[in-house]
């Protein structure tokens, strides 16, 4: 049993080290390793326009990990997604930083890929089809260490009719090189946590009972108990 005890102690120490150092175990998705795991993927749809046969698509399918569920953009349609619990950034070398997953099988279904730190000013990264990886470091306009929260995808080769009528089929957008969320998103997350904590600690009527309100009933109960005890004696 001694070796079992030592093994358990080792496991506990490893878990403590991972927790205290903030280390996150990575995970592969469609053959691409994401050091931050599932948190690497887009969390929110900010804006979209689905055209043609894709107009009634479910845009939420592009969020989260690549799972084969997709939204079609239609001819020249577009979608803007946002990272909220992380952000895309540069790696400082030639490693891939951004992954675009398209669920279609057609080699003709391309999208233009743009990134932005504010959702207003866009930098074109390139064109994507099926599974495409980008190193954003050498792209003109990209700032080293900047946090890019937004990714925009625009259908490039969709047709108004025929087999590609619904355009590119977008599955997921992931930040391979991931960092902490942009300041405004971090502040919003902290405020949400503070509000949730306040709701859990403050009574429903939002009033803290005054001392007399608590003390008087307690003294009455203690007095009755004392009288009852004396009576029995």
The domain limits of the chain are 25-186
Which helix (DSSP H) or strand (DSSP E) does residue 162 occupy? none
Q: Give me the pLDDT at residue 166, please.
A: 81
* Residue 112: strand pairing partners: 127, 154
User: Buried b / exposed e across 168-194, counting CB within 10 Å, b at 16+?
Assistant: bbbbbbbbbbbbebbeebeeeeeeeee
Q: Is 146 strand, coil or helix?
A: coil
Higher-pLDDT residue of 193 and 109 is 109
The arithmetic mean of pLDDT across residues 185-213, rounded, is 56
- Average pLDDT over the chain, rounded to an integer: 81
User: Is 180 a residue whose pLDDT tops 60?
Assistant: yes
Q: Give me the pLDDT at residue 223, please.
A: 57
Q: pTM here?
A: 0.70
E strands, the chain, are 27-29, 32-34, 44-49, 71-72, 78-82, 87-88, 98-102, 111-116, 123-128, 131-134, 150-155, 169-175, 178-179
Q: What is the pLDDT of residues 79-91, one digit of tens each?
A: 999 999 999 999 9
| Residue 30 contacts residue 133 (beta carbons within 8 Å) | no
Instruction: For residue 99, give every residue at least 6 positions away whose Cβ sits within 8 Å of its Cβ, in sequence order, or none.
Output: 29, 32, 34, 131, 132, 133, 134, 172, 173, 174, 175, 176
Q: Which residue has the tokens 């845009």?
A: 59
User: Is 147 a residue whose pLDDT tops 60?
Assistant: yes
* Residue 174: strand pairing partners: 41, 99
CATH superfamily of 25-186: Galactose-binding domain-like (2.60.120.260)
């Amino acid at each position: 049993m001694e070796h079992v005890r030592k093994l358990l102690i080792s496991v506990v120490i490893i878990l403590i080290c991972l927790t205290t150092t903030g280390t996150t175990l990575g995970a592969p998705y469609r053959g691409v390793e994401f050091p931050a795991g599932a948190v690497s993927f887009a969390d929110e749809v900010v804006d979209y326009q689905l055209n043609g046969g894709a107009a009634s698509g479910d845009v939420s399918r592009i969020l989260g990990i690549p799972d084969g569920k997709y939204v079609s953009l239609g001819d020249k349609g577009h979608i803007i997604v946002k990272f909220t619990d992380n952000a895309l950034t540069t790696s400082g070398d030639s490693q891939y930083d951004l992954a675009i997953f398209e669920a279609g099988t057609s080699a003709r279904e391309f999208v233009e890929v743009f990134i932005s730190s504010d959702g207003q000013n866009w930098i074109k990264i390139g064109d994507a089809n099926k599974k495409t990886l980008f190193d954003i470091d050498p792209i003109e306009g990209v700032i080293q260490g900047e946090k890019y929260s937004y990714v925009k995808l625009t259908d490039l080769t969709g047709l108004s009719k025929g087999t590609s009528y619904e355009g590119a089929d977008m599955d997921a957008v992931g930040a391979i090189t991931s960092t902490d969320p942009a300041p405004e998103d971090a502040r919003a997350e902290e405020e949400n946590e503070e509000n949730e904590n306040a709701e859990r600690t403050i009574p429903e009527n939002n009033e803290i009972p005054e001392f007399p309100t608590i003390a008087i009933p307690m003294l009455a109960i203690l007095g009755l108990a004392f009288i009852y005890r004396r009576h029995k004696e």
